[in-house]
Each structure stands twice: as C-alpha cells, then as structure tokens.
A and B are shown apart, each in its own frame.
Chain A
Amino acid sequence: AQTVTQSQPEMSVQEAETVTLSCTYDTSESDYYLFWYKQPPSRQMILVIRQEAYKQQNATENRFSVNFQKAAKSFSLKISDSQLGDAAMYFCAYRRSIGTGNQFYFGTGTSLTVIP
C-alpha cells in the first residue's frame, strides 16, 4: 500500500527567508507522480509543484523547488523568499502513473506560518 508521511505538523518562517517542508512516502512502484498542494483557509487545494518519478531533475516553479530522492523515497519542498501569502496548509501527495488505481494519497499536512 502507498502511504505518505509528513512529519512536521507545523512550521514557521520569517518573511523573505527559506523554509523546507519534509515528505516521505512508501511504494513498491517504480513509476509514479508526486505533488505538493497548498490549502489556504478558503479550503481550495492549489497545485504548487509536481514531479514525475522517472525524471531525475528536481522540479522548480519560481520560488518553489523540490528535493526528490527516489532511493530514499523523500520529496521535500523548499520555499525561497517566503511571502505572507505562502501561509497555508501544505500537503504532499502521491499518485500511481498506470492502471485503474488513480487514487491520490495525501499526507496529513504541514501548517506553515509566515512571520512578518
């Protein structure tokens, strides 16, 4: 079974500083997708970044980047130059890439506070 673990229930960062959110997962698959979603108080889950497991290069989206360590099954999110609008719950998610099992598996989330 696939599981996603986020070991940091809460994190805080000073505005303009850098913060890293941790995520580990368990799978026996070799091909899959990993995602980070952001959920502000409005409740809508917003895609931050995605990573295909077959790609060795770490994904980057502006101030957001990942450190994908496939052998260690680790997928951390780095937020650079943190802004007040980055404050939200962040969820790591896993999805199989093939077959009819299209479930996304989510971690329990990390609540990020940005301190002005």
Chain B
Amino acid sequence: GAGVSQSPRYKVAKRGQDVALRCDPISGHVSLFWYQQALGQGPEFLTYFQNEAQLDKSGLPSDRFFAERPEGSVSTLKIQRTQQEDSAVYLCASSLRNSPLHFGNGTRLTVT
C-alpha cells in the first residue's frame, strides 16, 4: 500500500481481555517500530524490528506485551490481560535504514 496501515482504528476492551493490534508497513521497509502515546504526551518507544528480527524490546512495559513480525512484513502487537493503564494510542511506523519514520494512523485502545 501507499502508507502504513493499522487496524483496528479503535478498540475497546474490558479489563482482563487480550487484544491484538495489526500493522501493515510500507512495502520494502525493513525497519518497523511500535510506539505508545498517552493522551497529551509524545510517543514512547515500545519495540523495534529489522525484518523479522526483534532487535530491541526494551520499551515493552511488562511481559503482558508481546510483538511479532514473523515474515518481516506485517506485525502484530498483542496485549494480554489488559489493564486500564494500557489505554493509549498505539502507533506503528516503518522506515528504510536511517530514513525518517512513516507512521500509521494509530489504534486508540480504551480499556474499561
């Protein structure tokens, strides 16, 4: 596609439910990033992939967060047993090496 595509655009989950957020990066972009953006804040780094390899997951806030990119293209961010503090916008971005990030529109997760 022409840009980074994220789905769903909105997700409401009850506390304790598992959620899966999808990111389809720009074709050919080897680097893929997940960011968490709380209301009124800047994006905070979660994890980074180069192709299918997860090279940095230092930003994942707990072991309830898990990301994968098995074929080096589409990525999924999974959050298990969601908590209210997980409510945020989750942004996915892709890039070529050493180039600017191209962002998707994000998924707004609300945990009730």
Residues of chain A touching chain B, judged by Cβ–Cβ distance below 8 Å, are: 4, 33, 35, 37, 42-47, 50, 91, 93, 97, 100-109
Contact = CB atoms under 8 A, between A and B. Distances in A.
Q: Chain B's interface: helix, strand, loop or mixed, by majority?
A: strand
Contacts, number: 61
B48 A45 contact: no
B104 A104 contact: no
A47 B100 contact: yes
Contacts of A35: 100-101
Contacts of B1: none
A33 to B, nearest CB: 7
Contacts of A109: 40-42
B43 A106 contact: yes
A100 B57 CA distance: 12
Given A104-B43, A106-B43, A108-B42, 13 more contacts: A33-B98, A33-B100, A42-B105, A44-B106, A46-B103, A91-B42, A100-B50, A100-B55, A101-B56, A103-B59, A106-B44, A108-B41, A109-B41
